[in-house]
Chains A and B, each alone.
Chain A
Amino acid sequence: QVQLLQSGREAKKPGASVKVSCKASGYTFINNGITWVRQAPGLGLEWVAWINPYDGNTHSSEKVQGRVTMTTDTFTSTVYMELRSLRSDDTAVYFCARNYDSSGHLDPFDHWGQGTLVIVSS
């Protein structure tokens, strides 16, 4: 069965960087994009960024553009998201999710990781 297993919670100071991982299993890794969605405490869902593991193409929201880098390790079927210059409003649970279809970043998400809490506080 498809599973996405994320790394554990992180606590960072403003201005620092965080790198979150998402290990996929149960399907052919390069066949589906992976998207990051975040959820600030008590709030709704926000699309953050996407990567196509097949060719490395990425796309991110305006809010994080220039601060986010996504990479993949096809040997371990793992996606990494690094977010730099952290601000307090980056505090959220970050979910990785598998794109339902393989074509581009405009997709719904059929499987989700368990979430990684990133806390940004001085």
Chain B
Amino acid sequence: EIVLTQSPGTLSLSPGQRATLSCRASQSVRNSYIAWYRQKPGQAPRFLIYGASIRATGIPDRFSGSGSGTDFTLTISRLEPEDFAVYYCQQYGTSPLTFGGGTKVEIK
């Protein structure tokens, strides 16, 4: 199975700052089929990005995704209060679907 490694484990930033989250795959992800989700405590994940770089419906343009092959990045250009949460990447190119271990973005 494809193992996704997210880094850093925790990112300590202030509102308004830029966040850069990494997701590295153990093998190339077919068609860059990478999705990103944001999960706040006690809530279900929220769909942010698919196809590595396509924003889901209703997702603001401060969220952007990039990458191909084995290296993918989620960038949040200016952190809003609701962005302090845990972020997961997911690959859906190869069965079994797998998720990364998550990056927590916390308030500095």
Contacts and interface: CB of A to CB of B under 8 A. Distances in A.
Contacts of B46: 112
Interface in B4-63: 33, 35, 37, 44-47, 50, 56-57
A100 B47 contact: yes
Secondary structure call for the B interface: loop
Given A44-B101, A44-B102, A115-B44, 13 more contacts: A44-B88, A45-B37, A45-B99, A46-B99, A95-B44, A97-B44, A106-B95, A106-B97, A108-B33, A108-B50, A108-B90, A108-B92, A112-B46
Contacts of B101: 44
Contacts of A89: none
A59 B92 contact: no
Interface of B: 33, 35, 37, 44-47, 50, 56-57, 88, 90, 92-102
Contacts of A108: 33, 35, 47, 50, 90, 92
A13 interface: no
A96 B99 CA distance: 16
A111 interface: yes
B96 A107 contact: no
Contacts of A110: 47, 56-57
Given A44-B100, A44-B102, A45-B88, A105 B44 contact: no
Interface residues of A, number: 22
23 contacts: A35-B97, A44-B99, A44-B100, A45-B37, A45-B90, A45-B99, A45-B102, A46-B99, A47-B97, A59-B95, A62-B96, A95-B45, A100-B47, A100-B50, A105-B95, A105-B97, A106-B92, A106-B97, A107-B92, A108-B50, A111-B47, A112-B45, A113-B44
3 A-B pairs with least C-beta separation:
A108-B35, A112-B44, A45-B99
Most buried by B among A107, A113, A114: A107
Nearest to A59: B95
A100 B50 CA distance: 10
B65 to A, nearest CB: 12
Interface string A38-77: 0000001111000000000001011000000000000000
